[in-house]
Amino acid sequence: MEVHHPTAPHTHTIIFLHGRDSTAEQFASELFESQATDERTLPEALPGVKWVFPTAEVIPSKRFSGEMSQWLDMHTTEDPHELEAEQDMSASVKRIQDIVAAEAALVGADKVILGRISQGCAVAIHALLSGNLRLSGFIGLPSWLPRPKDVSRELSAGAYDQAVKTPVTLCHSEDDEVIDIRFGTELNDTLVASGMQVQWCVCPDGRHWINEPPGWTTLWLS
């Protein structure tokens, strides 16, 4: 796990999960190179934030007959729902919930933001909902929602009455060549249908990342 401490009094914690076949260190480096429209990096723009970057376990990949860092063993990015019943994310969800609880004990759940990209986002939204805490916010970059029908049914039943009060911001690029934007739209539509407050940001370009720098300004500095 990679942790970057604030350079000003600690006001918030952002927990950010990387995507498949990446690491906390690699993702943190890429994220902190990004700039907003005023050319500030994220740590410069948010000096009171503690940044926590968990690293996924290295687990077997059935499709690639090897091992890689991933939050769950997805079969394909072309259709992340393929063979979804075989994807066990329970250990990753529990681990993220433990990290959220630890940071909430320091600053309060209403000062914790859960953020993630791609596969990290897919796992984190399940961690948010089943943990049933109202956080300061949830930020998801290009991703999808595993088992959307199950989530929709549970949301409709009122199972996550506190988690649904967490404000959500989702961003997806139209030219994303890894996770098609239709899967991001499905995630957005499912959460909106449950009554969650969702800001849906569509970027014309940015591929499997986010349009820089205006996208970062929208996410962090608005």
Collapsing DSSP to helix, strand or coil, 145 comes out as: coil
Q: What is the CATH number of the domain that holds 8?
A: 3.40.50.1820
- Say if strands 112-116 and 137-140 run parallel, antiparallel, or are unpaired: parallel
According to the model, what pLDDT value does residue 83 have? 84
Place of tokens 């990342």: 209
pLDDT tens, residue by residue, 108-160: 999 999 987 778 778 888 899 999 999 999 998 888 888 888 888 888 888 88
The total number of structural domains in the chain stands at: 1
Range of the domain at 201: 2-221
Sign (positive or negative) of CA dihedral 210, 211, 213, 214: negative
Predicted pLDDT of residue 11? 97
**Residues 26-64: tens digit of each pLDDT:** 989 988 887 766 778 888 889 999 999 999 999 888 888
If you ran DSSP here, which 8-state letter would residue 42 be given? Answer: H
Q: Is 8 exposed, middle or buried (0-12, 13-18, 19+ CB in 10 A)?
A: exposed
